[in-house]
Amino acid sequence: MVPKKRIGEIDFLRGIAIILMITFHLLYDLKEFCGWEFINYKKGPVFFIGKTSALMFITITAISCSLSRNNIKRGLKILFFALIITVVTYFYDPKNYINFGILHFLGISVLLFPFFNRFPSYLLAFLAILSIILGNLFADLNLSHNYLLAFRLTSSTYQSLDYYPLFPYLGAFLGGMILKRIFYPKNKSLVKINLENNFISFLGRHSLVIYLIHQPIFLLIIEILT
């Protein structure tokens, strides 16, 4: 989907997010497939890199929704690729596949954007805070099934390679919508310098493709070298 107008710093920040994501996944692969046991991606700096990348993607996606001509088509496209990831990871590991990862979350959030965009900012702020609270509350609950995993309601045995439920992460998406209204009410860049023609912004403009191909490339290289 071609946006109505590109804002240079948005692509640049998305490019930074993709670099952080690639870094996190590389460290994850080195830990899991190369035996680099000193890497800890569940806490500390590596965990911070991964979460920062995800939160940046979520926030920037919300901002970009206001610049898109067709968020329904955009959301369905993201969900299509999310489904492919689900199928591929299921065949890789049926007990630990990705069934509600970052792309699943982003696809649904983009589809919900037209609904939330009708709300005033104070209501979006309330819903964002509520989402975060519910996410933390639901994390302590254990169900007998995983049918409500999209809302962070799962059984104690649930596991996934990548998990971004609507609660609490919808809070970041709604927060991004508020930031768009505050800083980009006229869809104009806030910076004077040209951030469009550089490598980082290039990565940002092609973030979905990079997201889809970088892990297979990493795993192929690891397989060849090991």
Residue 75 lies in a domain: yes
| pLDDT confidence tier of residue 212, bands split at 50, 70 and 90 | very high
Residue 163 lies in a domain: no
The two tokens of residue 159 are 């596991």
Contacts with 187 (C-beta within 8 Å, 6 or more apart), sequence order: 4, 5, 7, 66, 67
Side chain identity, residue 154: T
How far, in Å, are 29, 156, 174 from residue 120 at the CA level?
A: 43, 37, 11
**Domains of the chain: total:** 1
Residue 160 lies in a domain: no
Residues in the chain, how many?
A: 226
pTM: 0.93
DSSP calls for 164-208: --HHHHHHHHHHHHHHHHHH-TTS--S-SS--SSSHHHHHHHTHH
Is the predicted pLDDT of residue 211 greater than 90, yes or no?
A: yes
Contact 10, 176 (CB under 8 A): no
The two tokens of residue 29 are 């692969």
3-state helix, strand, coil in the chain (%, to 5): 65, 0, 30
Secondary structure of residue 52 in the 3-state scheme: helix
- Can you tell me which residue has the tokens 């369905």? 76
Distance CA 151, CA 79 (A): 17
Instruction: Provide the β-strand partners of residue 143.
Output: 155
Phi–psi pair at 24, nearest 5 degrees: -60, -45
Side chain identity, residue 90: Y
Distance CA 157, CA 154 (A): 8
pLDDT in tens, 18-62: 999 999 999 999 999 999 999 999 999 999 999 999 999 999 999
Residue 141 lies in a domain: no
In whole angstroms, how large is the CA radius of gyration of the chain? 18
Instruction: Provide the β-strand partners of residue 163.
Output: 100
| pLDDT confidence tier of residue 113, bands split at 50, 70 and 90 | very high
Angle at 78 between CA 109 and CA 54, to 5 degrees: 60
What is the DSSP code (8-state) at residue 149? G
pLDDT of amino acid 1: 38
Residue 100 lies in a domain: no
pLDDT in tens, 170-187: 999 999 999 999 999 999
Whole domain around residue 186: which residue ranges? 8-90+105-133+173-225
Contact 17, 53 (CB under 8 A): yes
Distance CA 151, CA 168 (A): 8
Q: What is the mean pLDDT of the chain?
A: 95
Residue 140 lies in a domain: no
Residue 57 lies in a domain: yes
